[in-house]
């Protein structure tokens, strides 16, 4: 790559490593597939290395090379633990000679990618999608959390850049000493697909809602770390204050059976995408996301674009999107506080419309093209400023700070 070439003329070879790319659809996976499609559309070359399964959840973007993997034990067996490229995939990586390595998960495959980048003297950057270190608290293993946080410091401090999806998450990572150079990679939304005009009262009636029901939507993976227990508790408290409330649940996951038993009159729509998903959002009356593990909250942005007022936890993901008292409400993540906010919106149709209209307007500021163009500019900056010897020195300094902490 010639130094005198202008950035629009320079084309990159990007090796992307992820723990999931096409076998389970979630927010991070949607962002990564959108990124790969954008890069290839601009003439860059991309190879993706990730675990695969026999029946992928959707048609992925770009060239995906399968990484050997093991299913996670227990209820999370739909996710896989990558063991790093081997055989033909490893040879393909070597022959590809990437300019930059992008790591989307701090797993064993991610460690392989870090070591590959160091060996070949190229920059490694990482996108931060999930606070994995908070997951143990949902599975009676809170003792593990501090150890995982230390590991995240070690992992991300070896990367040239860490791309966080929200300002609140960049602040959180800096406070925890995770990453040396933390940059913003926010998310976009398709405002034509997710649109208040997709509201369909006939569909609402067909799935069991009455015209005067106030429908509260949950969209996401049905797993404990999404706060589904808090959703149930808060919703049931709110319904005691307003019996017109009804839940709409969009998504699949290992906790569906338990979730449905706790909300027997909910409509469980299952996994939806495209027009079906857009219709479900727009046909609700408010959106409730109690999760504190999200680093951004794609579902909240989609709800905003659909013209819904949102209620969320005063944590990194929701804080970056919901303007408290303007587009919805933020609260400490406890059922009582959430219930009061749900009840407040339930009794005031005018407030719901006011918040929803403002949310729709605010969502227009999230353009995928602008977001991804900025990320590519970060790639070029990492490439142009990369100095292997200086990078190693920075790593050692970061490691000493981590040890002192």
Task: List pLDDT tens digits, range 57-72.
Answer: 899 999 999 999 998 7
Task: List pLDDT tens digits, range 14-57.
Answer: 999 999 999 988 888 999 999 999 999 999 999 999 999 989 98
pLDDT at residue 192 greater than cutoff 80: yes
Q: Distance of alpha carbon 345 from its chain centroid, rounded?
A: 26
- Place 392 in a pLDDT band, splitting at 50, 70 and 90: low
User: Per DSSP, which regions of 24-122 are E strands?
Assistant: 45-50, 63-66, 69-71, 80-82, 100-103
DSSP letter for 324, please: B
Q: How many CB atoms lie within 10 A of CB 295?
A: 24
Alpha-carbon distance 209 to 219, whole Å?
A: 17
Collect all residues with Cβ–Cβ distance below 8 Å to 55 and sequence separation of at least 6.
none
Task: List pLDDT tens digits, range 125-180.
Answer: 999 987 665 655 666 677 677 878 898 999 999 999 999 988 888 988 999 999 99
Domains (range + CATH), the chain = 7-188+368-404 (3.40.50.2000), 196-363 (3.40.50.2000)
Task: List pLDDT tens digits, range 199-238.
Answer: 999 999 999 999 999 999 999 989 888 889 999 999 999 9
pLDDT at residue 272 greater than cutoff 70: yes
Average pLDDT for the chain: 89
Distances (CA, A) of 115 to 64, 78, 155, 159, 316: 20, 27, 11, 11, 30
The bridge status of strand 80-82 relative to strand 69-71 is antiparallel
- Place 403 in a pLDDT band, splitting at 50, 70 and 90: very low
Task: Output Rg (C-alpha) for the chain, integer angstroms.
Answer: 22
């Amino acid at each position: 790559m010639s130094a005198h070439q202008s950035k629009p003329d320079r084309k990159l070879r990007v090796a992307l490593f992820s723990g999931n790319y096409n076998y389970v659809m979630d927010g991070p996976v949607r962002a990564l597939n959108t990124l790969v499609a954008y890069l290839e559309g601009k003439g860059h070359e991309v190879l993706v290395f990730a675990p695969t399964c026999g029946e992928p959840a959707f048609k992925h973007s770009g060239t995906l090379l399968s990484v050997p993997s093991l299913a996670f034990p227990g209820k999370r067996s739909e996710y896989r633990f990558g063991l790093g490229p081997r055989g033909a995939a490893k040879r393909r990586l070597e022959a590809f000679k990437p300019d930059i390595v992008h790591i989307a998960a701090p797993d064993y495959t991610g460690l392989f990618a870090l070591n590959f980048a160091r060996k070949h003297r190229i920059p490694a950057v990482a996108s931060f999608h999930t606070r994995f270190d908070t997951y143990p608290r949902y599975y009676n293993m809170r003792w593990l959390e501090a150890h995982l946080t230390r590991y995240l410091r070690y992992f991300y401090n070896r990367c040239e850049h860490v791309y966080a999806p929200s300002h609140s998450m960049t602040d959180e990572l800096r406070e925890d000493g995770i990453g040396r150079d933390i940059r913003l990679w926010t998310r976009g939304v398709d405002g034509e697909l997710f649109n208040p005009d997709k509201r369909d009262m006939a569909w609402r009636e067909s799935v069991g809602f009455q015209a005067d029901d106030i429908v509260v939507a949950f969209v996401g993976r049905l797993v404990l770390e999404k706060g589904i227990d808090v959703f149930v508790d808060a919703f049931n408290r709110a319904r005691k204050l307003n019996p017109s409330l009804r839940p709409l649940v969009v998504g699949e996951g290992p906790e569906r059976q338990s979730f449905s038993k706790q909300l027997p009159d909910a409509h469980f729509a299952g996994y939806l995408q495209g027009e079906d998903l857009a219709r479900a959002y727009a046909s609700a009356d408010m959106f409730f996301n109690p999760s504190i593990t999200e680093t951004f909250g794609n579902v909240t942005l989609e709800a905003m674009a659909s013209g819904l007022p949102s209620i969320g936890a005063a944590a990194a993901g929701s804080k970056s999107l919901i303007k408290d008292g303007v587009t919805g409400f933020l609260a400490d993540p406890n059922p009582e506080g959430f219930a009061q906010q749900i009840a407040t919106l339930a009794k005031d149709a005018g407030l719901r419309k006011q918040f929803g209209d403002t949310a729709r307007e605010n969502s227009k500021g999230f353009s995928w093209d602008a977001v991804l163009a900025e990320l590519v500019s970060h790639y070029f900056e990492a490439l142009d400023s990369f100095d292997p010897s200086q990078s190693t020195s920075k790593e050692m300094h970061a490691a000493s700070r981590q040890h002192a902490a």
